[in-house]
Amino acid sequence: MTKIDSKFFVFLLAILIAYLLLIMNWSSSFTPTRVIVTLKQSNDSKTSEEIQSKRGMTIDELMKKYSTINERRIDYTREMCRKHRSTIPKMKTLPKLLVNEKHKIVYCQTPKVGTVSWCKIFLTLSGYKKYSEVLNMTASQVSAAWKKHVPQLSNFSTAKQKEIMSSYTKIMFVRNPLTRLLSAYNDKLVAKNASDYNLSSQRSMSRKIKKKIRPGYTTKNYDPTFGEFIKMIVSKENYISNIHWRNMLLICYPCEIDYDVIGRFEDIENDSNYILNRVGADLKFPASTGFHFTNSSNFEKVKKSYANIPDSDLVSLYRKYQNDFLLFGYKAKMEFLI
């Protein structure tokens, strides 16, 4: 090997060693960041936070980021309300709105969109119990407690109602209609998931659905299939009304009530902490464990559940919840389920 070749070889070797040392140093100092991936696969709108980093944000960073996100959502919903006003049903009566006077906040409950967690917050703000105690309450206990201890807008005089609606922070939460329906089915119509508190109502509702969708059934199995549930939902003749699968539009009426925050179930922890900081409540929304028997936000679970639903029922399902998809920016391209 010539002297020039030797020098060139040593030069290359030095570069390779330096590169390896750099890689080793970078790898030892790098800590993978866990991320929460929401229903990107289910074609949520780009207006939602598709991927949220679990690296901690300061309060200032959280408030700045989610103030921008919320403004974008509010503007989008207002624009959709204006654009589709001729087809959107009008509000006949005010929805059930929970009120906390100390923190000047009004909350519209949308079942299957984190309602129990937010009712726990309102119970705490009302002074019912310490937050640590309220967090351990069951859903049935929370349901009974908030009705007694949390004021509703209808409890106030007409003059006070106007003051509250014009000056308090008004909030509501929304969810992808497909995952909300699956959660409602799992919670209300699958017997093994029902508590003793609502098992009788589960059986009663299941019988009604089977009687309409599966005439002449004799089995004692009280669980209708998810497909039968969907057929009931899209049927004009056999539809059974229930607030847990009622259109979100028809629960909170965002085209007539000027909400200050529209949070998303897909990012409920960050959205809720933004709200709590905004109204000066010294509470933190409970971190999600990612598991609950009615949790339907896992993409594979959603895909599997809808895989055997006929295309005609999927199209009818979209038409039924079209306003929810449109107003809150959720995309409903059904091919991902087929």
* 102 Cβ neighbours under 8 A, 6+ residues apart: 125
Identity of the residue numbered 188: K
User: What confidence category does residue 206 fall into, taking pLDDT thresholds of 50, 70 and 90?
Assistant: confident
Question: Computed over its alpha carbons, how large is the radius of gyration of the chain?
Answer: 25
Residue type, 74: I
pLDDT in tens, 145-194: 999 999 999 999 999 999 999 999 999 999 999 999 999 999 888 866 65
Q: Are 272 and 280 in contact (CB under 8 A)?
A: no
Sequence-distant (6+) residues with CB within 8 A of 24 are none
Residue 21 is predicted with a pLDDT of: 43
| Global confidence as pTM | 0.80
As to burial, measured by CB atoms within 10 angstroms (0-12 exposed, 13-18 middle, 19+ buried), residue 61 is exposed
Phi, psi of 182 (to 5 degrees): -65, -40
pLDDT at 84: 94
Q: H/E element holding 27?
A: helix 3-29
Range name among 92-96, 275-279, 321-325 with the lowest pLDDT average: 92-96
Q: pLDDT tens-digit profile of 111-149?
A: 999 999 999 999 999 999 999 999 999 999 999 999 999
DSSP state of 326: H
Structure tokens at 170: 């008004």
pLDDT at 146 (0 to 100): 97
